Amino acid sequence: MVIKSVLWQLKKEAEKRKDVYQNLRSKYKILKQFKTFNDLKNFLHNKNNTDYTLKDNIILTFLSEYQTTQYKNLLSPFIILIFEPALKSIFYLYKKKLYYYPQLNQSDLASLILAFFLEELENSLLNQKVFSKIIGRIKNKVRKYFYNLLLEEKAKKEYQKEPETEEIDSAPIKEKFINLLNQLENQKIITPTQKHILLASIIYNQPLKQIAKELNLSYEDVRQKKSRG
């Protein structure tokens, strides 16, 4: 229900700011055939309309305007609504996973997806098939986010022990360390396996031999991966 509420608020905002769309319509010839934003949105969302080149060029027009305008806050509701079906699909796909992560709720998930989306709007290259490329990258980011959560939960569940050092026992330091590992993994400096080993051995003080057994690796492999991490 949360994603529907968010989108409903955005629709209200778009209705209030009809002038934003009309200004775009007067600026770009490609939009002139769509008298209202709803007309445009319905065309883009109708699967029977198979002029994919036109659809792609319309989206490119909005993205180009978004990346160059000073008024991103006015334009973002319109672009989010253009991507509405795909964003809802991602939300409902991962909504099922919230059961396993009680620290997250539906609002967190909706915020996460929209944050990733706005990040992509800002940074995406303006080329063909941009719609599918943006959605693909958002899916990958959300998948990566939940994968990191899974690794952390697995380490907590299987290797939970009181740390020997007072430093790592500090919650802020522990959180910073986990965030650092996530960042290193995202930058491909360490692998997911290396991150798992570092979490288990440093945060949860688990012996390397037990980690090796769990990961079906040799003790020497685990020792080397930890050293390289």
Residue among 107, 110, 181, 111 nearest 147 (CA): 181
- Distance between CA 105 and CA 76 in Å, rounded? 24
Helix axes 2-16, 106-123, angle to 10 degrees: 50
| Structure confidence at residue 122 (pLDDT) | 83
Q: What is the pLDDT of residues 96-148, one digit of tens each?
A: 888 888 888 888 899 899 999 988 888 877 776 788 889 999 999 999 988 88
- Taking the whole predicted model, whether its pTM rises above 0.85 is answered as no
The ranges assigned to domains in the chain are 2-146, 160-228
Q: How confident is the model at residue 193 (pLDDT cuts 50, 70, 90)?
A: low
